[in-house]
Chain A
């Protein structure tokens, strides 16, 4: 792990922790909050916990492998191993195919349930964004390879 990467994990774990504590303080300070102030503290707690947990985990992993260079090398080999990378990409590809089908089915279901237009439009935008990203990378990689 590079020094900058280590500093980044430290910074983000601090930011995550502050968000979490800030969220808790907001919940306690404004029990009768309305509108967005009702959601904001819980959003802070949720995001803060996630950011703090992930970055702390990376820091602990760094501390563990620092003591054991052989384990660090093995982790690096496992991460870069071409078969492992191929397996991960194949699994991701299958999940993507399934996700587009699930998205389409959900979109159809919401439309048939006469859901609010903004829900259907949000779903459509998300679906098109994903399909658009796929098309973008297809073109990009065709040019590169």
Chain B
């Protein structure tokens, strides 16, 4: 699964640390999400989408194999 988290975060002008603090996750989790090394739980995906006032599928892009 790909995502546009880094792009959207930078568009909003916030740092990884700030996003992590708002979402109550570690900064490493944000880094891993942005690098595509880690896929979030549905709860975290919702929290991210709500924070940016977007839909989950606008941030996380599902790709079939």
Interface size of B by Cβ–Cβ distance < 8 Å?
12
Task: Report if B52 contacts A (CB, 8 A).
Answer: no
Task: Report if A100 contacts B (CB, 8 A).
Answer: no
Counting residue pairs across A and B whose Cβ atoms lie within 8 Å, the total is: 25
Q: Which of the 9-residue segments A29-37, A80-88, A109-117 touches chain B?
A: A80-88
Decide: A83 and B38 in contact? CB cutoff 8 A: yes
| Bound complex: CA A82 to CA B23 (Å) | 11
| Bound complex: CA A116 to CA B32 (Å) | 51
Task: Report if B64 contacts A (CB, 8 A).
Answer: no
Question: B25 → chain A, closest Cβ, in Å?
Answer: 5
Interface of A, secondary structure class, is helix
Q: Which residues of A contact B24 (CB under 8 A)?
A: 77, 80
Q: Which residue of B lies closest to A84 (CB)?
A: B26
Give the residues from 34 to 92 in chain A that come closer than 8 angstroms, CB to CB, to chain B: 77-78, 80-84, 86
Q: Which residue of B lies closest to A82 (CB)?
A: B41
Question: A31 → chain B, closest Cβ, in Å?
Answer: 53
Interface string of A5-34 (1 = CB under 8 A from B): 000000000000000000000000000000
| Bound complex: CA A83 to CA B20 (Å) | 12
| New A-B contacts (11) at CB < 8 Å, excluding given A81-B25, A82-B40 | A77-B25, A77-B26, A78-B26, A81-B26, A81-B28, A81-B29, A82-B29, A83-B25, A83-B28, A83-B29, A86-B38
Report A's interface with B, CB cutoff 8 A.
77-78, 80-84, 86
What are 16 sample pairs from A and B whose C-beta atoms fall under 8 A apart? A77-B20, A77-B24, A77-B26, A78-B26, A81-B26, A81-B28, A81-B29, A82-B25, A82-B29, A82-B40, A82-B44, A83-B26, A83-B32, A83-B38, A84-B29, A86-B38
